[in-house]
Amino acid sequence: MEYNFTKEELAEVQKHVAKYPDPQSAVMPTLWIAQEKFGWLSNEAIKLVATTLDLPYAHVYGVASFYTMYFKKEVPKHLIEVCTCFSCGETGGREMLDFVKNHLEVDENGHSKDGKIWVRAAECLGACDTAPVCQVTNKRYCHNLTEDKMKGIIEKLRNDEELPYERIPLTDQSVFAKEG
């Protein structure tokens, strides 16, 4: 595999570099561009980012290895991260994680039998008011999870369908109305 960015990808990198006084600040979005292109961040992909930004490999690798959203090994195309932190944990997050793992019959790495989906627990996804919640492939949040809803999400992922953004109803505003 050749590790190069296209002209369009380089233009996108330059847009990020231009936002900051130091190209080092563009490491995270450039790693993201590389991961989107290659599916994960091999040493070669990390070297490409380092070379593109004219930064030391060790610095770029350090950023990539610190954050869990960057994959340093080849993984299935889709990732389901079920929040198991306090609010989600108390409203069924742990049970939802178990349900997903059992439904997909994941292996010891959390990979589904068909190799398309990876499942893991997530620490707080910051959506406590719509718990339990999951994040899909670092892009979409799915709120107020039920087993049926999760089955629908899994089916869409198996068919490589894009998940729609969810519209979350606002809290009942009548409780904030002035009395009398």
| pLDDT, tens only, 8-45 | 999 999 999 999 999 899 999 999 999 999 999 999 99
First to last CA, the chain: 70
Chain center to CA of 109? 17
Work out the average pLDDT over 82-99: 94
Q: Taking residues 123-140, what's their average pLDDT?
A: 91
Distance CA 158, CA 46 (A): 29
The structure's pTM equals 0.78
* List of domains in the chain: 7-66 (1.10.10), 78-158 (3.40.30.10)
- Convert the pLDDT of each residue in 97-107 to its tens digit: 999 999 999 99
* Residue bearing tokens 């959203």: 69
